[in-house]
Copies of this chain bind each other. A is one copy, B any other.
Amino acid sequence: MQRLSVDEARDRLSDALDAGADREVARLVPLLPSHDVERLLPELDARRLGVLFRAMGDEWLASVVSELDPGIAARLLVRLTDVQAADVLEEMPPDEAADVVGELREEAREEVLAEMEREEAADIRELLEYPPETAGGRMTPEFAALRDSMTVDDALQFLRRAGKAADAVFYLYVTDDGGRLAGVTTLRDLVLSPGSRLVAEITKREVVSVQDSDDQEHAARVLRESGFLAVPVLGPDRRMLGLITADDVAEVIEEEASEDIERLGGSQPLEEPYLTASLWHLFRKRILWLLVLFAAHAYTGNVLQHYQGEVAVVVALVVFIPLLIGTGGNTGSQVVTTLVRAIAVGEVQMRDIFRVFTRELVVGSMLALAMGIVAFVRALTLGVGPGIAEVVALTAFCIVTWSALVASVLPLLLKRVGLDPAVASGPFIATVVDGTGLVIYFSIAKVLLGI
């Protein structure tokens, strides 16, 4: 059989799904990159999806669905029969399955859960109690817990029986009769110890853990700093509820970075992938900040109206307005994004505010000096004469310094009052410094030009 290109495979797969040709589907799907499959899936109708399910099986479908956004995965599952959907959910890690079930409507949710194995449905119900952004909402409740009193042989026997529930175990947690976390050991230590030894003897008592109600970002940071591949999630009274693993952390970091990036760009974060989000969703996430920024920016009109007399006298001043306020906005944008990120990764904290301010004062002045010189040269090349060129140069210096200073304190102040520092977006800081920049410009012009 000749080797198919990805494009050919994609076309043929489409035909095979239409024709219900299971075996052809099973041959073609592995030829496509996983991203292609993830994008194809949400577009299939119930009949084609049924063909794919028959051809590839529930385990394969579960692995693809796990990669989808939960909202999209939910819309896909309702196109399967309840039994098929339950099979797929059973094959998924419970934390991800819970995210998807959480997106289903109440009735659909109950119908699917009713078709699932009792124990797995119970896991999902429990996870659904937690807000999705908490450690509890992110954890997988599947773990095998040992007891201090077991021997190494007992423990191995126990793990053998636990079977699938102990699927990805490397760390083995030890709990007491009340299910409270009592220590941790590793599969490796178990394997390398004599069979008659007690678990208690190979157990470490200090365990890095998080609370079920902790923010997922906090949990991710704890795991990152611990250098381990998993941390246990504890409920009240140190009862062990589940695990957060390093791959959850990668997901959390990616999600949180995406949110910060969209906020820094001046919109509310999307809750769905860009290409599949509805146009109305995109509109809603953008219009709020556009209006807020417009309202905040509107006072530039008042500022300019106030200086209309000066503008009429020296029309040439107008020529430099966009350039000067643009440069101020650019400086501010550089500073806020750097700081918002430094705060997000924990490099900068509230108590550094004075240090940040003095650093930005120095760096801002250096940048201001450079930009002042450049602005002076630019003004001369536009042939405005040395008087106005001096005004432009001095304004550039003042605006750049001023922007850097405002931007240096804004993110930490926002955090202080309980807001997300990323609200201090590029567009936000530009809006703040545009109006004040105009006041600086015309004040300098009035003094130096005597108008």
Q: Is A225 an interface residue (CB 8 A)?
A: yes
Residue contact B274 to A342, C-beta cutoff 8 Å: yes
B-chain residues with CB within 8 Å of residue A359 when the two chains form the complex: 275, 279, 282
Identical copies in the complex:
2
B-chain residues with CB within 8 Å of residue A156 when the two chains form the complex: 191
Which residue of A246, A359, A374 has the most chain B CB atoms within 10 A of its CB atom? A246
CA distance A356 to B273 in the complex (A): 13
B-chain residues with CB within 8 Å of residue A323 when the two chains form the complex: 294, 297-298, 300-301
Q: How would you classify the secondary structure of chain A's contact residues: helix, strand, loop or mixed?
A: helix
Residue contact A322 to B367, C-beta cutoff 8 Å: no
**CB within 8 Å for A367 and B283 given contacts A290-B327, A434-B326:** yes
**CB within 8 Å for A166 and B187 given contacts A229-B246, A323-B298:** no
A26 shortest CB reach to chain B, Å: 15
CA distance A352 to B276 in the complex (A): 12
Q: Is A60 an interface residue (CB 8 A)?
A: no
Residues 40-93 of A at the B interface (beta carbon under 8 Å): 63, 66-67
CA distance A247 to B221 in the complex (A): 11
Q: Is A347 an interface residue (CB 8 A)?
A: yes
Q: Is A289 an interface residue (CB 8 A)?
A: yes
Q: Is A345 an interface residue (CB 8 A)?
A: yes
Residue contact A338 to B274, C-beta cutoff 8 Å: yes
CA distance A304 to B315 in the complex (A): 10
Residue contact A326 to B293, C-beta cutoff 8 Å: yes
Residues 227-253 of A at the B interface (beta carbon under 8 Å): 227-229, 245-247, 249-251, 253
Residue ID in chain B nearest A276 by CB atoms: B347
Residues 250-293 of A at the B interface (beta carbon under 8 Å): 250-251, 253-254, 257-258, 260-262, 264-267, 270, 273-275, 279, 282-283, 286-287, 289-291, 293
B-chain residues with CB within 8 Å of residue A356 when the two chains form the complex: 275
Q: Please tell me which stretch of A11-19, A111-119, A175-183, A328-336 contacts chain B, meaning at least 4 of its Cβ atoms lie within 8 angstroms of it.
A: A328-336
Q: Is A21 an interface residue (CB 8 A)?
A: no
Residue contact A266 to B330, C-beta cutoff 8 Å: yes
Residue ID in chain B nearest A299 by CB atoms: B323
**CB within 8 Å for A273 and B169 given contacts A156-B191, A261-B257:** no
A290 shortest CB reach to chain B, Å: 6
Which residue of A282, A291, A345 has the most chain B CB atoms within 10 A of its CB atom? A282
Residue contact A261 to B341, C-beta cutoff 8 Å: yes
Residue contact B347 to A301, C-beta cutoff 8 Å: no
Q: Is A421 an interface residue (CB 8 A)?
A: no
**CB within 8 Å for A333 and B287 given contacts A159-B192, A323-B301:** no
Among B166, B301, B316, B367, the residue within 8 A (CB) of A290 is: B367
Q: Please tell me which stretch of A101-109, A124-132, A305-313, A412-420 contacts chain B, meaning at least 4 of its Cβ atoms lie within 8 angstroms of it.
A: A305-313
B-chain residues with CB within 8 Å of residue A245 when the two chains form the complex: 229, 246
Q: Is A448 an interface residue (CB 8 A)?
A: no
B-chain residues with CB within 8 Å of residue A375 when the two chains form the complex: 294
CA distance A282 to B253 in the complex (A): 25
A231 shortest CB reach to chain B, Å: 12
Q: Which 10 A-B pairs have the closest CB atoms?
A: A265-B337, A246-B246, A257-B257, A426-B426, A274-B342, A300-B322, A170-B170, A330-B427, A267-B334, A304-B319
Add 18 more A-B contacts to A254-B345, A300-B326 (CB < 8 A). Answer: A35-B346, A35-B349, A63-B227, A159-B191, A169-B170, A187-B191, A224-B251, A229-B229, A247-B249, A262-B338, A264-B264, A267-B337, A267-B338, A279-B359, A294-B323, A301-B319, A302-B382, A304-B319
